[in-house]
Chains A and B, each alone.
Chain A
Amino acid sequence: MITRNSRFIVTIVLIALLSLALCIYFPWWMIAVVAFSVSALVDQSPSKSFWCGFLSIFFLWMALTSIIDSANQHILSQKIAKLLPLGGSSLLLIFLSSIIGALIAGLASLSGAYFRKLLKS
């Protein structure tokens, strides 16, 4: 029997791992497909589902971009952050990237949860 808390965490990890793997071969918006599908399979409230998707991609993208960025010594991120313009702040660029991914995954998870409800009814 899985507790609700651990279900929440397992879902987050599942979305992150599947997104990471599938985005190697498919377009970036696979994160939405993954978040939707996983949330449609796991029984959770819509609001919890939203946060699952949101947090999953937020942390995944933040981790990925941070690792790349520190290995790159912020060379590119500072330039792009000047261009966009984000005042040349690498952190802001990482944050913006992560939030955008998180929003999409969150909304997709929400849709997934509603979809599950629709089927059950």
Chain B
Amino acid sequence: MRFIPFILSALATIGLVVVLNSPINTGGTSIPPLGKFLSPQVGLWQNAKTESFDAANSIQFTGLRGKSSVYFDERMVPHIFAADDRDAWFIQGYLHAKFRLWQMEFQVRAASGRLCEVLGEKIGNASLLDRADRNFRRMGMVYAAENELKEIEKDTMISEAVHAYTDGVNAYINNLEESQLPIEYKLLNYRPEMWTPLKSALLIKYMAFDLSGKENDFEFMNARSIFSPADFDQIYPTRHDSIDPIISNSAALQAARINLKLPANVDSFYLQGYDTNHVQPLEPHPNNGSNNWALNGHRTVTGKPILCSDPHLALNLPSIWFELQVHTKNFNAYGVSIPGAPFVVIGFNDSCAFGITNSMRDVRDYYEINFRDDSMKEYFFNGEWKKTKFRYERIAIRGKPDFIDTVAYTEIGPVVFDKHFDGSRTTNGKYYAMRWKAHDPSNELKCFALLDRARNYNEYTSAIHFLHTPGQNAIFAAKNGDIAMTAQGEFPAKWHRQGDFVMEGKDSSYFWQGMIPQEENPHQLNPERNFVSSANQYPVDPANYPYYLGGQFAQFRALMINRLLSETTGASLQDMMKLQTSNYNLLAEMARPVVMRSIDENNLGNSEKKYFELMKNWDLQNDPDEKGATVFLLFWNQLEHEIWDDEFGKTKLPMLWPQKGTTLEGVLKDTSFKFADNINTPEKETVSQDILAAFKKAVPKMEEAESQGNLAWSRFKGTRISHLLRLDAFSRGDLDVGGGDDIINATTSTHGPSWRMIVQMSDPTLAYVVYPGGQSGNPGSKFYDDFVSDWARGNYYIAWIMKEGESKSNRVIGTLKFEP
């Protein structure tokens, strides 16, 4: 029996190896294969190694055309000096993969509804399948990306770029050893897939979702079912009193080339009709927006134009942006790129600078489809039964059999909502097809390819015409002194309130009747006021534009930016930094006088008086340590409830909460504001009574915040930058940052300026930049989040616009060489 101890010990060894080499699933959380994960030579420890560069040896790839070099500066920003354009795009793909492989793959997974494949069906109690994957599949993200890819393949330049980029990513993946896998793959125990051009197209569609996937059709239907048409128009106005549009003092655009025909029953059925719906779609973050502005030489101290751009997006790690310089014999661009696609998206070159802010226009509508029966095989359209096409979406789920979702496609678009999909929300059993501009063929990448090499206004204009969806306010400043702004996009020409509600899909009478011709997009070159600006407000005064704009526009940042810019002369780069990080609360400035008039301090208790004084003496800055900012916000939120809760309490259906600007207008109108009255009480409340009641009700919340030591604004707000997997250990929390919603420094708790850029179009170009993250996607690298503290403090870095022949500079901390 001498073999028994051997058998036992051998079994124990093998058993332990097998257990520690497999992931452990404990219900919700999965634990990585511990032995593998903790081993020093393949596991996490390999991710703790410092970035290394083998400068002596070139990396050889057959796809390359010439010899190229990449120099990394002290912030790990690569400066690519490429033999030709194609090699530059290859190298960009290689570098994106080297620094951000997991992130770029994960984002595309999310966009194409493939998260369950690596994360399983549920996260905690939330169904990832229903909430994310099925939603993205059903809204036709892959279908849209396929349409985009067809356009890309037709275009020699962009097709070459995307294929070179793909080759670069795959060159990195092919040479990737298991020990060098990004840590997220090791944690979740899966491996990267090969990159494809379709994935770059999917990323563009993810941008389209994030920035143009917002509409309120169902919420508006719900609201219309309980409000009269007149009330509805007051709660959701299509124009505001204090309006400061992007294109200032524009003359009315008369010669609209599209003659809009209203459907016959638009007044009786569409605008007045009552219908109830219970559907609420998956939505991008409501704060997605941005600031950009440019001053010409008349307003700057050097006499040269200055362009500023800061896109506001969800604050994540790894950051959405990757900073780089790309130099070839044809162009020299510096700025930020999006891992997953070639080109610099926001940045500058030797001739001009460019940036974008979101247009906020509504380019996504729903049509009710009448199917012959539940099989959805035929639908009634223009008097006949038409055949449906089906798309079968196979969703792989980790640890479970695949899920197959059948999506019907009509001529309008995919039937997103049907009897089989309610997205864990209550539906009314109707069928709705989505008409989304992002489904149309387009070639957005070409916009950025051409901007990177644009030399003048005309080239900027022809570049941005390729940007269809998401619509963006594209800003431009050039060394010759030109500044310009275009409310760019390919937008449907809509009649008043078209697409605010779901529409009839039985014939084409409610269809979009055409696209607004590009030259009828609001635009401005060298305006008299010597600056251009945009901050997601109305592109033009709606009264002066022949097409309906749709969408919910921001107000306060634009008002503030334009106020400050019109006072500015002799602006320096430092002045622009101050402006870009301004914490001034304009809403509070406009609302506070009414509050002061409405509350008699003598009628307040001691604690109430203390907070009232805090608000009264506050300097209106949402600085990190300001207590007044917190007091004001708590009061304002309560005031909105005081005003709207009675009306909105009439239903449990989801409705769009009125915009702050709408509430403020009502408060300023005072006695004529009918919604001040609480409809549930016999008396007639006034704005002043609402204000007093709101303040008294908010005081306990202020006391609570203070007792927890959270009355200071940044403590109350609690800004955090979350890892894409929401892992606390890889996130940065409790940042000491001011600003907030509707403030130029638009930093809220999870959202904010994702790239701050200030460029002076002088010779040489001078640029200040910063973003809330770091160049490396590896949580084990010091370059993972090394910009965060400076970003939080409002500091900037001087961008090093490297020239050929500076490779010996002591700013170079690493070099990569490429050759065929």
Contact = CB atoms under 8 A, between A and B. Distances in A.
Interface of A: 20, 23-24, 27-29, 32, 36, 46, 61, 64-65, 68-69, 71-73, 75-77, 79-80, 82-83, 93, 96-97, 100-101, 103-104, 107-108, 110-111, 114-115, 117-118, 121
A104 B20 contact: yes
Interface stretch (B297-305, B600-608, B776-784): B776-784
Interface stretch (B9-17, B79-87, B326-334, B522-530): B9-17
Given A23-B42, A72-B49, A100 B20 contact: yes
Given A83-B729, A100-B20, A104-B17, A115 B6 contact: yes
B39 A32 contact: no
A50 to B, nearest CB: 9
A104 B36 CA distance: 12
A77 B49 CA distance: 11
B728 interface: yes
Nearest to A120: B2
Given A68-B49, A72-B50, A97-B39, 15 more contacts: A23-B42, A32-B17, A71-B48, A72-B49, A73-B782, A76-B780, A77-B48, A83-B729, A93-B38, A97-B38, A100-B35, A107-B16, A110-B13, A111-B10, A114-B9
Contacts of A107: 9, 12-13, 16
A80 B729 contact: yes
Contacts of B729: 79-80, 82-83
B30 interface: no
Interface in B19-49: 20-21, 34-36, 38-49
A105 B236 CA distance: 70
B512 interface: no
A68 B13 contact: no
A46 B48 contact: no
Q: Contact residue range for chain B?
A: 35 or more
Contact of B48 (A32, A76, A104, A108): A76
A37 B20 CA distance: 21
Contacts of B47: 76
Contacts of B12: 107, 111
A28 B44 contact: no
A65 to B, nearest CB: 5
B50 A83 contact: no
A29 B35 contact: yes
When A and B form their complex, which 3 residue pairs have the shortest distance between CB atoms, in order from nearest?
A76-B780, A114-B6, A28-B39
Q: Secondary structure of the A side of the interface?
A: helix
A23 B21 contact: no
B40 A104 contact: no
B40 A118 contact: no
Interface string B519-554: 000000000000000000000000000000000000
A20 B42 CA distance: 12
20 contacts: A20-B41, A27-B36, A29-B35, A32-B17, A36-B13, A46-B5, A64-B45, A65-B45, A72-B48, A76-B44, A80-B44, A80-B729, A82-B728, A83-B730, A97-B43, A97-B45, A104-B17, A107-B9, A110-B9, A117-B2
Contact of A118 (B6, B35, B730): B6
A29 B40 contact: no
B64 to A, nearest CB: 29
Given A117-B2, A118-B2, A68 B10 contact: no
Contact of B41 (A24, A69, A77): A24
Contacts of B9: 107, 110-111, 114
Given A100-B34, A117-B2, A23 B41 contact: yes
A11 B781 CA distance: 37
Contacts of B45: 64-65, 68-69, 76, 97
Q: Dominant SS at the B interface?
A: helix
Contacts of B187: 83
A66 B47 CA distance: 14
Nearest to B36: A28
Given A104-B20, A107-B9, A107-B12, A64 B41 contact: yes
Contact of B40 (A68, A72, A111, A115): A68
A110 B782 CA distance: 42
B13 A71 contact: no
Contact of A28 (B42, B48, B782): B42
B19 to A, nearest CB: 10
A29 B6 contact: no
Nearest to B15: A107
Given A23-B42, A68-B40, A28 B35 contact: yes
A96 B42 contact: no
Contacts of A68: 40, 45-46, 48-49
B230 interface: no
B580 to A, nearest CB: 30
Contacts of B40: 61, 64-65, 68, 97
Contacts of B41: 20, 23-24, 28, 64
Interface string B750-784: 00000000000000000000000000000111101
Nearest to A106: B13
Contact of A111 (B13, B36, B38, B48): B13
B564 interface: no
B5 A76 contact: no
Contact of A23 (B20, B39, B784): B39
B727 interface: yes
Contacts of A104: 13, 16-17, 20, 35
Contact of A79 (B13, B16, B43, B730): B730
Name the residue among A36, A96, A100, A107 with the largest chain B CB count within 10 angstroms: A107
A54 to B, nearest CB: 12
A75 B13 contact: no
Contacts of A82: 728-729
Contacts of A110: 9, 13
B637 to A, nearest CB: 33
Contact of A69 (B10, B48, B782): B48
A61 B39 CA distance: 7
Residue among A20, A76, A100, A118 facing the most chain B CB atoms (10 A cut-off) = A76
B780 to A, nearest CB: 3
B779 A71 contact: no
